[in-house]
Structure 1
Amino acid sequence: MDELIFPILTETDVRLPLYLTSVGHWDHQERMARPEGFPDYQWLQVQSGEGELTVGGRRYVVRAGQAMCLFPHEAHSYGPLSKRWELTWAAFGGNLSGELLAQAGIAQSGVYSTTDRELLLSHLRSLLGCAMSGRPFSGIESSKLLYQFLLDLMKSVYVSSPSAEQNYSRLRPVLDYIERNAHRPIAIGELAAEAGVSPQHLCALFRQTIKMRPIEYVNRQRVNRSKELMIRDPGLKMQDIAALVGFESPSYFGSVFKKMEGVSPEQFRRMHRTH
């Protein structure tokens, strides 16, 4: 069934970092041409059939499992190539929109393949239901749902490289290995062997997926464990804590801790002292 909802936006809603401007579902999307573009960001998820998109001087074929992402005020046109072209879509604005899309690897208008179409459709249906409800504060609720949707794009979109979800799957054995062995020195070669890749490739996977180098991730694990020990056992000396969580020396522990937390281990302990 065709559905189209334009939610009522209050002054408070449009000041949110994300807000929904329209949402809907077409059993069959008709041809659409916008030489002056559209004022908001759009995500159009294809459920069935095949269509085409022209944007930025390029023509794309769009199939089920793919989506069109359109940036504001950019000329575009799209239309069906099959008898039925079913779409569910949302349009949105707010100063966080472009930043969250960029974090998912979406830097321009175009066609994007998705690894979990049902997850994204579930989010879009929730946005549609919220917009249709007419409940008080539905604008705020839609903003929360929109944020969840855009975060899940980071896991579910193919760009020029594998999706974050694929990279996390490849890194999972490494992350588990770190969890089990962070209390002792760990060589980069050990971690690479767990993933079955070279050390250089492992570093690239970490930077691409977790936005830090492997040793940074290991040290973050160690620092978090040290904080737990400081609070749980106030009598432990810092040098003992450093050794228990895998740091080679108390001085290195102190410098890493301060760089990550902005305070020394002793200052952190004082801030969390209960008596």
Structure 2
Amino acid sequence: MPIYFYPSGNHLPISIESIGNHWNQDSVQRPQGYPYYHWLQSNHGQGKIQIQDQSFILSEGAGILISPFTPHSYTPMYQKWETSFVTFYGSLASDLLQSYGQNGYLLIENKQHLFHNDWIDTLISADQQNGIDPLRSSSICYLFLLTLLQEKQGILTEQHPLYQQILAPVIKEIETNYDQNLTVKQLAGLVYVSPQYLSRLFNRFLGQSTSQYLLNYRIDRAKEYLVSQKQVPIQQVAFAAGFQDASHFTALFKKRVGITPMKFRQLYH
């Protein structure tokens, strides 16, 4: 049951602090929480999770993501409980997970919506064979979080009639024309609702307002341009992602990601 601690001080959008698999899980008490995000998944057996005044049974195949400094405890239900886990931190992790931070946790109970411990085993195996690569671990953890959030959003939102009738067309418009001068008023008019009502629906289903979703989508597209088109000037990246002013783009990017667009590009080149 190995556990590995990664070198600290890596200025990556997501950095793994520790990782372990096939862990014979003992009882853990953390009244002050843990200083990093903590993903815990149940491989075999069951465990009881206590987070503040709420308790859950973590059955085989289920997992829970606990926010930093959230008081919690967990203990095996029976004689043996095997788990795998990852602790991680970084500005991009905070951005991705901020919509789910109100309760201090994100619980995934449906085995069909969780690809179990494969990614943890794969990453540990790669580290054993080739040595620890912080960038590799960062990208794999990022893909895991994206999958986790996409599955969670799909379970909660995509089947709802309001999501299908109002949000889906607006999201499609954003994804198609994000590089244009879109406004919340225009997006609301597309589905014949008020901007205020549209933002309430975005907050209800996606945990962010319409304008926040549009900004986040543009920032994500800008990241892709920065990495895939390394010779394109920052100003052109800004325009391609739908920002009208390069200075404003740089300020928003740094506020959102924690580093400037140029620094972000340098992480990958």
- Fold agreement, TM-score > 0.5: yes
Cα–Cα, structure 1 residues 114 and 32, in superposed 2: closer, same or farther, change >3 Å? same
Cα–Cα, structure 1 residues 120 and 212, in superposed 2: closer, same or farther, change >3 Å? farther
In structure 2, what is the equivalent of residue 3 of structure 1?
Answer: 2
Q: Give the C-alpha shift of residue 153 in structure 1.
A: 1.2
For 1:97-123, what per-residue CA distance to the aligned partner results, in whole angstroms no more than 9, with x for missing partners? Answer: 2221235x4543346124445525333
Please state if 1:129 is matched with 2:125.
yes
Structure 1 residue runs of 4 or more that deviate by more than 4 Å after TM superposition = 164-168, 202-207, 209-213, 260-263
For residues 75-86 of structure 1, the aligned pairs below 5 Å read: 75-86=71-82
SS at match of 2:117: helix
For 1:34-79, what per-residue CA distance to the aligned partner results, in whole angstroms no more than 9, with x for missing partners? Answer: 2332221100012232211122232222222322222222332111
Q: Give the C-alpha shift of residue 126 in structure 1.
A: 3.0
Please state if 1:37 is matched with 2:33.
yes
Q: Give the C-alpha shift of residue 92 in structure 1.
A: 0.3
The answer (yes or no) to whether the contact 1:56–1:76 under 8 Å persists in 2 is yes
In structure 2, what is the equivalent of residue 89 of structure 1?
Answer: 85
For 1:158-184, what per-residue CA distance to the aligned partner results, in whole angstroms no more than 9, with x for missing partners? Answer: 7xx93356569x959x87xx99xx9xx
Cα–Cα, structure 1 residues 95 and 209, in superposed 2: closer, same or farther, change >3 Å? closer
Q: Take 1:152 and 1:68, find their aligned partners in 2: how far apart are those partners? A: 14
Amino acid at match of 1:163: L
- Give the TM-score normalised by the residue count of structure 2: 0.56
Cα–Cα, structure 1 residues 106 and 156, in superposed 2: closer, same or farther, change >3 Å? farther
The answer (yes or no) to whether the contact 2:43–2:116 under 8 Å persists in 1 is no
SS at match of 2:26: coil
Gapped regions of structure 1 (runs ≥ 5): 183-187, 192-201, 218-259, 264-275
For residues 92-131 of structure 1, the aligned pairs below 5 Å read: 92-103=88-99, 105-110=100-105, 112-115=107-110, 116-131=112-127
Q: Take 1:120 and 1:152, find their aligned partners in 2: how far apart are those partners? A: 12
RMSD: 4.6
For residues 137-152 of structure 1, the aligned pairs below 5 Å read: 138-152=133-147
In structure 1, what is the equivalent of residue 43 of structure 2?
Answer: 47
Q: Equivalent pairs: percent with the same residue?
A: 23
- Give the TM-score normalised by the residue count of structure 1: 0.55
The answer (yes or no) to whether the contact 1:43–1:67 under 8 Å persists in 2 is yes
Which of 1 and 2 has greater Rg? 1
Q: Take 1:101 and 1:131, find their aligned partners in 2: how far apart are those partners? A: 26
In structure 1, what is the equivalent of residue 156 of structure 2?
Answer: 163
For 1:116-171, what per-residue CA distance to the aligned partner results, in whole angstroms no more than 9, with x for missing partners? Answer: 455253333333334434536x011111111111111112237xx93356569x95
Q: Give the C-alpha shift of residue 81 in structure 1.
A: 0.7
Gapped regions of structure 2 (runs ≥ 5): 177-187, 192-197, 215-241, 246-269
Q: Take 2:72 and 2:209, find their aligned partners in 1: how far apart are those partners? A: 37
Cα–Cα, structure 1 residues 102 and 124, in superposed 2: closer, same or farther, change >3 Å? farther
Q: Take 2:126 and 2:159, find their aligned partners in 1: how far apart are those partners? A: 31
Q: How many residues align?
A: 206
